């Protein structure tokens, strides 16, 4: 049987191309160290490697976040340490001033020193790190602490008016409301009612229908037992992300009447919410866009804990009314030391309160900070180990074995030489046979 030259050449070229392709692939794997260059070459390993790579990038992003907050916490700690040092120095000045043999002149000097120490403490409380106020809560626009009318304020609210509501975990205060549409009806009932001259609706009775997207009050005589609120009132209503009905941005159910008959709202202190970030704890957010605190890390340190907050209290020794925050205590001490009729009993009570507040800040606030900082360090170690493990797994999936690829390359070279040698014998024979 005679073999055609064209058929022989075609088969020989195909063999040569296959051999060259295998040799090139082996050479590429050996030089690049990658087992495959296209996903189609190994779909199972490629998909798994892509998933691991995504997890590794997420872990690196979380690690970067943790490292940034470790540095920020160091800054918080340093500023708290400075405030602590200032308050301790103020205690020493007050203790020395109570028995100063220089009399009024010496006390006036101490008053000046207390005023300067107070200003320094305020500066550290308004400290920034990377353009962010350390103790401001969610407020990054302006300094959180200010002095207004001789009283310390946090984000515009006097700290002596702040109350911690344990049930909701929020800081609140009674905000005076000036709104001619709101009245106490019936008089003396304590119920705040919206009155437009025609309709009267108790704010605490307003509800929101998620289906019809309308506000209503329960009324047995109305269709479906729901009576729509007046249109003009609807314009002032909204719903919070927690499902609370809001009247002009304030929770409707928290309006009340004070002892003087004035309307007030038990409002949340501005920018006092906590800030949480994802550091690899399995971040969870509910339907109301609220973070599950167990799945995230709280990054901010509440400024209200720096100096203290709350209404004035009675002194421990003599029962004098004293502020419940260190800044206002220093203000009153400064004023007392300026007076000619120096009140030793009042100073004793103020000094006791200053010591108590400083100890509370040092023991509770800084202990909490130490605990959270330690957790950050443990999280950093965990993420470092996770990233190393993910990189090792990814490398095993996509990397080529250098020893195996060296053998494959050598085999390809031997095959190539064999193909060339075979071609030198086959082609001439076929050609001579054709010529006969």
pLDDT in tens, 43-79: 787 788 788 888 999 999 999 999 999 999 999 999 9
Strand (E) or helix (H) holding 284:
none
| Residue 422: predicted pLDDT | 64
Strand (E) or helix (H) holding 82:
helix 43-98
Q: Evaluate whether 327 touches 135 at the Cβ level (below 8 Å).
A: no
The pLDDT-based confidence of 294 (bands split at 50, 70, 90) is confident
Would the pLDDT of 402 be above 70? no
Where would I find the H helices in 193-234? 231-234
| Residue 435: predicted pLDDT | 45
The CATH architecture of the domain made up of 34-162+269-399 is: Up-down Bundle (1.20)
- List phi, psi (to 5°) of 185: -135, 135
Q: What is the mean pLDDT of residues 172-184?
A: 95
Which of the residue ranges 38-42, 301-305, 324-328 would you say has the lowest mean pLDDT?
38-42
Q: How far apart are CA 267 and CA 296, in angstroms?
A: 26
Q: How many alpha carbons lie under 13 Å from residue 170 in its C-beta half-sphere?
A: 10
Q: What is the mean pLDDT of residues 412-433?
A: 60
pTM over 0.85: no
Q: How far apart are CA 423 and CA 426, in angstroms?
A: 5
Beta strands in 166-281 (DSSP E): 170-176, 182-184, 192-195, 200-202, 207-209, 214-218, 226-228, 237-239, 245-247, 250-251, 255-257, 263-268, 276-277
Angle at 266 between CA 261 and CA 270, to 5 degrees: 135
């Amino acid at each position: 049987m005679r073999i055609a030259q064209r058929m022989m050449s075609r088969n020989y070229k195909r063999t040569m191309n296959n051999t060259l392709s295998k040799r090139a692939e082996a050479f590429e794997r050996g030089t690049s160290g990658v087992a495959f260059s296209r996903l189609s070459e190994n779909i199972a390993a490629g998909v798994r490697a892509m998933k691991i790579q995504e997890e590794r990038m997420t872990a690196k992003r979380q690690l970067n976040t943790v490292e940034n907050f470790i540095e920020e916490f160091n800054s918080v700690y340093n500023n708290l340490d400075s405030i602590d040092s200032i308050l301790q120095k103020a205690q020493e000045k007050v203790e020395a001033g109570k028995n100063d043999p220089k009399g009024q002149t010496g006390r006036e000097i101490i008053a000046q020193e207390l005023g300067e120490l107070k200003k320094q403490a305020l500066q550290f409380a308004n400290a920034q790190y990377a353009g962010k106020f350390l103790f401001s809560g969610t407020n990054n626009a302006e300094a959180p602490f200010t002095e207004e009318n001789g009283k310390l304020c946090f984000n515009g609210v006097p700290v002596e008016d702040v109350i911690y509501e344990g049930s909701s975990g929020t800081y609140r205060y009674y905000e005076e409301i000036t709104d001619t549409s709101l009245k106490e009806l019936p008089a003396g009932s304590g119920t705040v009612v919206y009155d437009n001259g025609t309709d009267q609706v108790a704010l605490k009775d307003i509800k929101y229908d998620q289906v019809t997207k309308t506000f209503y009050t329960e009324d047995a005589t109305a269709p479906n037992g729901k009576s729509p609120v007046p249109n003009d009132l609807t314009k002032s209503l909204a719903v919070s992300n927690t499902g609370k009905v809001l009247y002009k941005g304030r929770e409707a159910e928290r309006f009340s009447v004070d002892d003087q008959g004035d309307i007030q709202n038990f409002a949340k202190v501005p920018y006092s919410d906590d800030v949480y970030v994802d550091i690899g704890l399995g971040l969870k957010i509910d339907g109301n866009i609220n973070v599950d605190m167990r799945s995230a890390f709280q990054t901010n340190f509440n400024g209200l804990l720096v100096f203290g907050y709350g209404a004035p209290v009675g002194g421990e020794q003599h029962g004098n009314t004293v502020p419940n925050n260190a800044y206002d205590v220093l203000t009153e001490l400064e004023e007392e030391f300026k007076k000619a009729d120096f009140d030793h009993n009042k100073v004793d009570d103020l000094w006791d309160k200053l010591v108590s507040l400083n100890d509370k800040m040092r023991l509770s606030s800084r202990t909490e900070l130490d605990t959270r900082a330690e957790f950050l360090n443990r999280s950093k170690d965990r993420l470092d180990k996770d990233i190393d493990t993910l990189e090792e797994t990814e490398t095993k999936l996509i990397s080529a074995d250098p020893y195996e690829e060296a053998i494959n390359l050598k085999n390809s070279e031997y095959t190539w030489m064999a193909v060339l040698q075979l071609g030198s014998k086959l082609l001439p024979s076929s050609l001579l046979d054709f010529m006969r």
